[in-house]
Amino acid sequence: EIRYLLQRERAAFTAGAGKVRLETLRRLVELHKGRPENRDFLRNLWREEYNSGNQQLAIEMGEEILSSPDWAPIERVEIASMVGRDAAVIHQLASAQSALRKAEAALDEYKRTPNAALVDRGVTYVELLRSLIAEKNARFDDALVAAGNGLEAAEREIARSRALKTGNSVSVFDEALRIRISLLSRQIIILANAGKHVEAEAAAQGVNAIGNSPDEFARVIRADMEKWAKLLKSGGAKTD
């Protein structure tokens, strides 16, 4: 039965059949109760419950998962950040703030471990949540600062992943890129909600707008044109 369910879960994930995957994961969790491998099934079930619209249940599951002592500190950073983001989306800001404190504490703990190579990844998780909470509280400047801090950490994590020589370097890079995209999306949303529609539009088009005046905007455009012109020239690119 387990072998069949594992194949069914993968097929449902690939096909985007959320209802089938949800039912299958619930059964896998039931069958693996009390076994070490159940934590991965439980975590997948947690996210599928949220994606299926069972948001309150997902928050409760996330808090229960986070309370388990089985997770490494860096894993707790990610889980706490996700719990907090789930709560913030439905405006449970006290729960989101509590999750942020747990994420920060787990990150501090991780920094004290030997060979803590994933600090920047942890920072991206924490700052992504901090940015969302600040935005929900209409503290748009604070939200932009947090998103910016997260983006800086994401860029460092992307650079680190590119330098890896291990077999999982691609998955590490993909995760770093995914977080970077989430943080860029956050910036656009924050700018739009703050009423800075010109900057939001510029950010959506890949331009880092730095001010409201035409002169400032023109300087950004010129800098981007110079940067890409040098890159294209060095790469030998030619127009058709």
For the ranges 39-53, 82-96, 218-232, the lowest mean pLDDT is seen at 218-232
Measured between alpha carbons, how far is 11 from 68 in angstroms, rounded to an integer? 29
Segment 192-212 mean pLDDT = 73
Amino acid making up residue 47: R
Measured between alpha carbons, how far is 154 from 168 in angstroms, rounded to an integer? 18
Q: What angle do CA 122, 128, 133 make, to 5 degrees?
A: 130
pTM here is: 0.78
Segment 183-199 mean pLDDT = 88
Segment 166-180 mean pLDDT = 76
CB 143 within 8 A of CB 131: yes
**Is 213 a residue whose pLDDT tops 60?**
no
pLDDT at 220: 57
Question: pLDDT, tens digit, for every residue of 63-90?
Answer: 999 998 889 999 999 999 999 999 999 9
Q: Residue 212: pLDDT band by 50, 70, 90 thresholds?
A: very low
For the ranges 88-92, 164-168, 184-188, 205-209, the lowest mean pLDDT is seen at 205-209
Question: pLDDT, tens digit, for every residue of 117-147?
Answer: 899 999 999 999 999 999 999 999 999 999 9
Instruction: Single out the residue of 204, 86, 88, 181 nearest to residue 139, CA to CA.
Output: 88
The pairs formed by 169-176 with CB atoms below 8 angstroms and a separation of 24 or more are 175/121, 176/121, 176/124
